[in-house]
Amino acid sequence: MNRLLLIVVLLPLAGWGGCSRVVKPTIPDTVYVKVEVPAQLPASLTAPCPPVRATTRTVEAVVSAYNTNLPRQADCDSRMGEIRKLTAPALEASP
């Protein structure tokens, strides 16, 4: 019973104690915003992918290497091109 009475008495006091005066927050005159600049990657990381070469010069090996190269090379070059586009603004911004 005593605990309940204590809680009932202290809760309104705790609530009203913070409302005695209103303090407006100060608004800063200058706001600094950190701007991220993409890092410049080494050219070796974005170099075009080398094609797969046939180890033997049989018709089957050459055709297999050619068929492997088509989708793999297109995918690799498109990904590396996207990376180069991301780093292009960093290269233009540097003095």
Is 73 within the bounds of a domain? yes
Q: How many domains does the chain have?
A: 1
Domain contains 29: no
What one-letter code names the amino acid at 82? E
Residue 59 within a domain: yes
Output the six-digit token pair for 29. Answer: 């005159």
Residue 45's contacts (CB-CB under 8 Å, 6 or more residues apart) are: 83
Instruction: Note whether residue 3 is domain-resident.
Output: no
pLDDT at 59: 92
Domain of residue 60, residue span: 39-95
21 lies in some domain: no
Look at residue 52 and tell me if it is in a domain: yes
Nearest of 75, 54, 77 to residue 66 by alpha carbon: 54
* Residue 35 per-residue DSSP state: -
Read off the pTM.
Answer: 0.39
Within-domain flag for 75: yes
List the pLDDT tens digit at each of the 95 positions of the chain: 778 877 777 776 666 655 567 788 888 888 888 888 777 777 777 777 777 788 888 999 888 888 888 888 888 888 888 887 877 665 555 55
Distance, CA of 31 to CA of 41 (rounded, Å):
31
